[in-house]
Structures are given as structure tokens and as C-alpha cells.
Amino acid sequence: MEIERKFLISKPPMALECYSFHRIEQGYLCTQPVVRVRRQDDCFYLTYKGGGMMVREEYNLPLTEEAYQHLLPKSDGNIITKTRYLIPLDGGLTCELDVFEGAFDGLILAEVEFPDEQSAGNFVPPEWFIREVTNDPRYHNSYMSSLKL
């Protein structure tokens, strides 16, 4: 089960090079339900995500690089590329700050995952989180993959 809130960021208030990061490339084989393939650094995954906005099922299965390279061209729409910075927050939480590239260059989103719904509901975002977009489907990567650009 994935429990996360998502926020739009205009400009992070820190030097991102100070944080660990992942390079991510992902394509969507299906968007209802969400089935995607992802390369994260040197690891490869097939992911299923159920319906929902803040709370939904999520299953990650490892792929070989060969399987990923075979499936990626079968993706519908835009391939999403981004750098994900891991920024510690109060309470032992982590902000996964996605800085998008390519077709979505300039977009910056923050995702925060929680252990339970109560923690998610009690979360007070830092000032540099501009606007919550958890329930706005336009900011889901699966939706962005389907946009005609």
C-alpha cells in the first residue's frame, strides 16, 4: 500500500547537489490500472498501481535490463525522465523531489510517503511546498505520459 501526498514546487530552497538522488526513466504500458516500466539508476522494475489518489495499492517487480528495453518501446505516450532528490524532513520523513526533464522540463514536484493515513493527514508541509496537488490527476506521471505535446 502506498500512502503519499504530492506538492507543486516553484523553486527548492536548498542546493540540490547536497542530497542523494536517482535518475529515473519510465514509460506507461497502461494507465487504468497503472502499469509502468521504470529504470532507476541501474535497477529496472515493472510496477502496478491501483486506483486512488493519496492511498492506493502498489506492487514493484524486478525486471532485467533486457526485459525493460523490450517493454519500454511498447509504452504509450510520453516517456517520463526526471532526477529524484531525497531530502530529509522532520519526523523521519523524506521528500522525494522530482525535477523533470525533456517534455516536462521546468516542472518540480515533491512527494512524501507516510506509514499510515493519520500521519499523512497530520503532515504540515514546509513553506517551500507551494500547493498540494495530491488529488489533482494532472500531476500524476501516468496522466502526464498521455498528454499530446
Q: Which residues are catalytic?
A: 28
The alpha helices in the chain, defined as continuous H runs, are 65-71, 117-122, 141-145
Contact at 8 Å (CB) between 80 and 141? yes
Give dist(CA 129, CA 88) in Å, integer.
Answer: 14
Give dist(CA 64, CA 5) in Å, integer.
Answer: 30
Question: Grid coordinates 526533464 are at which residue?
Answer: 101
